[in-house]
Amino acid sequence: MMASCASYSSPLYSSPPFALQNPKISSIPSPPQWLNHFGLTFQPKKRIRVRNLPPSPTVFCLRDPKATVVTGNSWDKLILNSEVPVLVEFYASWCGPCRMVHRVIDEIAAEYAGRVKCFMLHADSESEIAENYDIKAVPVVLLFKNGEKRDSVVGTMPKEFYVSAIEKVLTS
């Protein structure tokens, strides 16, 4: 069933009323005045068809993250008491650049397996630890060796920056 809208008039031109298939829409606003300024014309269609689109597919990440999540409860055991060097990425769930760094850290975790442990810490939910290490923005990657902070990489950087920092920590 077609629902017709209220009559349409504009100071620029007049046209017949629109016919819509959606009865919830009662009127259509007039076109902006600036259309004529740019030499554009607005020709309303007599009918607007609204088709029902299928819902967009849900995409799931099929890869297994190589870096494990660390919390305040496991911080001492996993980071400070580790016998091998540790890389910790401080991130936030709302941070777009952090997602890019996740991928790089996962690659590094796979390449340096057994030589470096990689972890991720949610800076918003573990704010006390973030404050202890003076984390003001994310993403930040800290490198620890023998329980001490040795190096840091701030921001989204190419993989080579992280690898260089890891190599320095491994050789020191």
Q: Which residues are catalytic?
A: 95, 98
Measuring CA to CA, how many Å separate 40 from each of 9, 16, 44? Answer: 18, 19, 13
Helix (H, G, I), strand (E, B) or coil at 25: coil
Query: Environment class of residue 117 by beta-carbon count within 10 Å: exposed (0-12), middle (13-18) or buried (19+)?
Result: buried
Q: Which residues are within 8 A (CB) of 91 and not within 5 positions of it... i.e. 6 or more apart?
A: 98, 101, 102, 120, 121, 122, 123, 138, 139
Helix (H, G, I), strand (E, B) or coil at 22: coil
101 — phi, psi (to 5°)?
A: -65, -35
CB-based contact 53:105 (threshold 8 Å)? no
Cis peptide before 139 (omega within 30 of 0): yes
